[in-house]
Structure 1
Amino acid sequence: FQPGIKWALSKNNNIIISYKEDYELQIFNAQGKLVKMITKEYEPVRITKEDVKQRVRKVPEGRKLVVPKYFPPVHSLMTDHEGRIFVGTYEKTEEGKYYYDVFDSEGRYLAKVALKGLLQVWKKSKLYSIEEDEDGFQMVKRFKVTWKY
């Protein structure tokens, strides 16, 4: 439940990092110089008893689970071949899909999209993700993506 370091490599070899409790992305060039910051207002997502129940199963025996009131703003970070930045949040739809905020390579906000699985790879306008069925069986899914904006 604690914020950890999330990072992604952009198409021009910049490193995008999120590690704070605020919705903030820092972009560093190959020489390590901070070249851009992206911030976004967000509504914190409260951690429910069901969230804790699911997480407890994954905690090794003997380890203590510290549970804050809210999830961190970012759970994943990735880029595609055109430089778009995808920020996974803990906000969900009623169907259980997670919202991803999408920014262009310059850091301009483009869209908020809901996806069922965990994003894994963007390659040549195709998205590969991992989804689980109701029995916990994982499968890799591939989607062709067309952008209109």
Structure 2
Amino acid sequence: QKGEGPGQLSNPTDIYIDDKDLIYVCDSGNNRISIFNEQGDFVSSIDFKEYSAGKIIGINPFGAIILRVDKTSIESSMSFITRAYFINMYSDRFDFKKNLYSISVPIMQHFRKGEKGIALSIPFQKELCWTLDSSGNVYIAESQTYEIQVFSPLGKQIYRIEKEHEPSKILKADIDNYVKEQFQFDKKERIFWSMTIKQKLRVPELKPILEKFFFAEDKLFVLRSENGNKERSFFDVFDSKGKYSWKMRLKISPWLWKNNKIYTVEKDKNGYHVIKSYKVFWHL
């Protein structure tokens, strides 16, 4: 039911089901996490004040909850909106225990020309990637670097997974394409703003290399783009100890990989999103 009262939801953004079949729903509208049993009955909720309730990464074997939260702020110059992301560890009662990782990223930039102003999202910004393994170890990385930090279930950093790769710089052509996309339906505005945006836009030096990673069949699958091109992606596969095994291409983008089945969200011939499952066969 939509609303602000106990058990009601305003804008659900994420869902997580634990091994006891409790359902955790992140609600950005009410800025809280609401918990329901498997019948859908409301159990309890946790409100967030300083941060926005983001995404539950997982619950480890010790009952600790790993949660990504964020906080948005405006820089003093008023030119940028910045979002700080935190991956925190909480007790089973959502008492804060430890921060594992944090980054701050400018996500919007404001441009002025004469009396006119416009705000645009900043492209190619770094993001956080994360996953949990069956032992409760937490894997965290920034999308621009191939360096995965691994934390124990108690929150102690235990090792890193690194792999050599060819970095891909952001080129003038990438910025040109970005500006065209922002004004694809308004050529007049594109001509007016183009030079100002190209001169002042603040972007990272490198394109993101990592897209996401997850565990399946006791292996770590790292989805990465080829030369910064997300249209040409592949998986680097590591064993459970972080040793590189092989490279694998897929024509689909897995949403979930479990019990030798891959689940994806794809568009059908009519343009509707549908869930599809694929059976996995290993030929090694």
TM-score (norm 1): 0.75
Partner of 1:28: 151
TM-score (norm 2): 0.42
Which residue identity lines up with residue 85 of structure 1 in the other structure? L
* CA distance in 2 between partners of 1:54 and 1:88 (Å): 28
Write the mapping of 1:1-149 to structure 2, written as runs, cut at 5 A: 1-19=124-142, 21-47=144-170, 49=174, 52=178, 56=182, 66-80=202-216, 82-91=217-226, 96-132=231-267, 137-149=272-284
Tell me, which stretches of 5 or more residues in structure 2 are unaligned?
A: 1-123, 184-199
Cα gap change, 1:45/1:140 in structure 2, threshold over 3 Å: closer, same or farther? Answer: farther
Which residue identity lines up with residue 23 of structure 1 in the other structure? Y
Which residue identity lines up with residue 29 of structure 1 in the other structure? S
* CA distance in 1 between partners of 2:262 and 2:147 (Å): 24
Q: CA RMSD in A?
A: 3.2
Which residue identity lines up with residue 52 of structure 1 in the other structure? Y
Cα gap change, 1:97/1:14 in structure 2, threshold over 3 Å: closer, same or farther? Answer: same
Deviation at 1:104, TM superposition (A): 1.1
Q: Which has the higher contact order (CA 8 A, sep 6+)?
A: 1
Which residue identity lines up with residue 148 of structure 2 in the other structure? L
Deviation at 1:46, TM superposition (A): 4.6
**Which has the larger Rg?**
2
Cα gap change, 1:54/1:23 in structure 2, threshold over 3 Å: closer, same or farther? Answer: farther
Amino-acid identity (%):
34
Tell me, which stretches of 5 or more residues in structure 1 are unaligned?
A: 58-63
